[in-house]
Structure formats: C-alpha cells, structure tokens
C-alpha cells in the first residue's frame, strides 16, 4: 500500500464541510470535522447516497439523501456501530494531500 496524491491542501473542504474527490476510479469523501481531515468511502450503505455532498452535524457526517449519520474518523454508522465504511489514512506533505487507498 502506498500513498497517492488526492488533491492539494488549498482544495480541502472548509471546517464543517465535506467534499468528493476521484482517485484511481473510486470516489472518496473527504470531511473536515473540527479541523481534522478524514477520508472514507463516498457511498452511503443505505441507498448509495453521495456522502461528500452531505453535511457535518456535530462530529457526524450526514448523508444528503436520507440522513444516515457516519463517524468520519471510523466510518461507523451511528445507528449500528458494527456497520462501517472503509476509512483511508490521509496525510498532508508539502501542501499535497496524500491518501492510502
């Protein structure tokens, strides 16, 4: 596994927002919760909603389609902690945002 450049630091979502990024044929949801940048699968486990188009409420990412809530740090579904999305390690190097997919 190796880190791949996802975007630049200046293109990251603002605090309290989420954004979608394409990498290696996948769409990754990058969220900024209280200044912490996280990366996870962009597809809601309910009906496939685009999580990167959702919003942050407290420390949860809310799917824009039906309101399913996830913890962006762990990928866990709020109502069922055993259910989770893939979370990807992310780091910032020299202004580049690198993610391990």
Per-residue confidence (pLDDT) for residue 101, from 0 to 100: 86
HSE (side-chain half, CA atoms, 13 Å) at 32: 13
Q: Domain map of the chain by residue range?
A: 3-100
Taking the whole predicted model, whether its pTM rises above 0.85 is answered as: yes
Model pLDDT, residue 7 = 97
**Tens digit of each residue's pLDDT, the chain (101 residues):** 799 999 999 999 999 999 999 998 999 999 999 999 999 999 999 999 999 999 999 999 999 999 999 999 999 999 998 999 999 999 999 999 999 98
The 10 Å Cβ neighbour count of residue 32 is 18
**Does the domain made of 3-100 have the CATH classification 3.40.50.970?**
no
Q: HSE of 68 in the Cβ direction (CA atoms, 13 Å)?
A: 23
């Amino acid at each position: 596994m190796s880190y791949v450049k996802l975007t630049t630091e200046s293109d990251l979502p603002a605090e309290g927002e989420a954004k979608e990024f394409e990498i290696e044929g996948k769409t990754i949801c990058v969220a900024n919760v209280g200044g912490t940048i996280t990366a996870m699968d962009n597809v809601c486990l309910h009906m496939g909603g685009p999580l990167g188009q959702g919003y942050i409420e407290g420390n949860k990412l809310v799917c824009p389609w039906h309101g399913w809530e996830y913890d962006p740090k762990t990928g866990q579904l709020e109502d069922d902690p055993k259910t989770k999305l893939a979370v990807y390690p992310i780091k910032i190097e020299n202004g580049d945002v690198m993610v391990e997919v």
